[in-house]
Amino acid sequence: MEEKPEQHASEPTGNFTVVRFCPGGMTGYGETVEGNQKLMSRMDEAGFTQNELAEAVNAYLRALGQDGTVSDRTVRNWLTGRTRWPHSRQREALETVFNCRIAELGFAPRGEQASSFSGPTEDRVLRRHFISASAGVTLTAASPIPAHGHTAQQRVGSGDVERLLSKFTALIVSDHRYGGQLTIETQASALANEALTLQTRGTASQRVRSSLYACAASFTSSAMWAAIDGRRFDEAQNYFDRAASLAAMSGDSTIQFRIWSHAGSLYRHLGRPADALAANDVARSLPIARRDPLFASLGHARHAAIHGLTGNAVAVRRVLAHAQEALDRADPKEYRPVWLNAFYDQAELENLALAAYLSLGDFEQAEAHAHRSLALLRPHMHRTRAITTARLAHAQLGQVDLEPAIATAMSIPTDVFTRHARVARMLGDFGIKLHTAAPSSSQSRAWDQYTHDFRRNNT
């Protein structure tokens, strides 16, 4: 007599365990389901545990300004088939994390077959900018990660790289919401170490090894940027030295551009414009900057911000014109890495122009660029919005428009003060300049009261 299969079998899949329902099993709600084999397979290939996938989805949701309420139980319901069609924002997040359509993850509306449902065709704002889960390397189809980890003879493949890049995408989302946090710096550095550890775990093709070095360099560059953003400049210099070496071993000019461009920003924040111009010139001379107008535009825009420190107004105007011309030529449909798609567009060009003109003391022009940048910023760019708003307050103060300047400064969410060193420093400088310009004014007293109340409520 043939035995019937058990209805509930606890079964390991990679680094996580799910309850897999056999065909004909019951969910407990009187509904017959089969486990979502496609999602199981994708998670196994990417190396996600249920908790890690929940964390990646929540990072996306928080970038939209929503609560991240996905738990490991939510993921378990997806895996068992109890939830066949997640909420719309969760579907967007899943598509982003796995870089595929929702149907390819085994989901479909009730009454539809997952294999036949292609889902909506419209671009979603965040997905368009985050779905390219890559640090500048193009990979072929992922190879599965074994369920019990690597051995000394295990072959490391592109699937291992894909797993790292999926985690990196979630980190990029968090960075653009919070920015400058030590936790982001630590997570990025840990991912870089993970990529380098894979180099020692087994055999790999030269292409995969180059990809791993590119990943490690890209992650280290993100740690470097978090340190710059948090004004931890000594740590940023150390990350730069390491990232530059890793990028050279990867042979990838895309990530080399990012690292040297970050170095230019580091030296700009340190008030060393000669070093900043030299570092940014290295980035602008790389093949990727000659081949792709979007990279060229970013290189020019950052050069303009550096020229602002030197007081060279002619150079600022000239280089900004080059940046705009290159941005206009850039094909938005061309493949580019996630870190570039995540932030560089017309809004960021306007923001860098704002920084340049603010350094020149051309406050009227700076204010115009600030308003354009704020109008164009994507909703998830919380950190950039705070920085741009602080710069706008400085531009208004420079024109002695005291009431608008204070109103602008006070419009920055107060929780940003406590978690973002750059914004806190910019607002501290704003207070100093306000007292210099109008030491006994009602506006200065209002600002003092505002900052006093803030400190009292946050001690």
Strand partners, 203: 155
Is the pTM higher than 0.95? The answer reads: no
Task: State how far the Cα of 198 lies from the Cα of 112, in Å rounded to an integer.
Answer: 41
Q: Which of 119-128, 221-230, 240-249, 376-385 has the lowest mean pLDDT?
A: 119-128
SS3 of the chain: the string is CCCCCCCEEEEEECCEEEEEECCCCECCCCCECCCCHHHHHHHHHHCCCHHHHHHHHHHHHHHCCCCCCCCHHHHHHHHHCCCCCCCHHHHHHHHHHHCCCHHHHCCCCCCCCCCCCCCCCCCCHHHHHHCCCCCCCCCCCCCCCCCCCCCCCEECCHHHHHHHHHHHHHHHHHHHHCCCCHHHHHHHHHHHHHHHHHHCCEECCHHHHHHHHHHHHHHHHHHHHHHHHCCCHHHHHHHHHHHHHHHHHHCCHHHHHHHHHHHHHHHHHCCCHHHHHHHHHHHHCCHHHHHCHHHHHHHHHHHHHHHHHHCCHHHHHHHHHHHHHHHHHCCCCCCCCHHHHCCCCHHHHHHHHHHHHHHHCCHHHHHHHHHHHHHHCCCCCHHHHHHHHHHHHHHHHHCCCHHHHHHHHHCCCCHHHHHCHHHHHHHHHHHHHHHHHCCCCHHHHHHHHHHHHHHHHCC
pLDDT bucket at 314, cuts 50 / 70 / 90? very high
By the 10 Å C-beta count (0-12 exposed, 13-18 middle, 19+ buried), 407 is classed as: middle
More confident residue, 103 or 29: 103
Q: Average of pLDDT values for 12-35?
A: 39
Tell how strand 8-13 and strand 16-21 pair up.
antiparallel
Q: Residue 365 pLDDT more than 50?
A: yes
Q: Is the dihedral of CA 255, 258, 260, 266 positive or negative?
A: negative
pLDDT bucket at 15, cuts 50 / 70 / 90? very low
pLDDT bucket at 178, cuts 50 / 70 / 90? low
pLDDT for the residue numbered 46: 61
pLDDT bucket at 401, cuts 50 / 70 / 90? very high
Task: State how far the Cα of 394 lies from the Cα of 378, in Å rounded to an integer.
Answer: 22
Q: Which of 74-88, 311-325, 375-389 has the highest mean pLDDT?
A: 311-325
pLDDT for the residue numbered 342: 82
pLDDT for the residue numbered 120: 41
Q: Residue 70 pLDDT more than 50?
A: yes
pLDDT bucket at 176, cuts 50 / 70 / 90? low
What are the residues whose beta carbons fall under 8 Å from the beta carbon of 223, sequence distance 6 or more?
A: 184, 185, 186, 188, 189, 192, 239
pLDDT bucket at 404, cuts 50 / 70 / 90? very high
Q: Residue 364 pLDDT more than 90?
A: yes
Q: Residue 152 pLDDT more than 70?
A: no
Q: Residue 8 pLDDT more than 80?
A: no
Task: State how far the Cα of 288 lies from the Cα of 104, in Å rounded to an integer.
Answer: 33
Q: Residue 323 pLDDT more than 70?
A: yes
pLDDT tens across 244-299, in order? 999 988 888 999 999 999 999 999 999 999 999 999 999 999 999 999 999 999 99
pLDDT bucket at 66, cuts 50 / 70 / 90? low
For 8-120, CATH number out of 1.10.260, 3.40.50, 1.20.120, 2.40.160 equals 1.10.260
Share of the chain above pLDDT 70, in %: 76
pLDDT for the residue numbered 275: 96
Q: Average of pLDDT values for 29-45?
A: 69
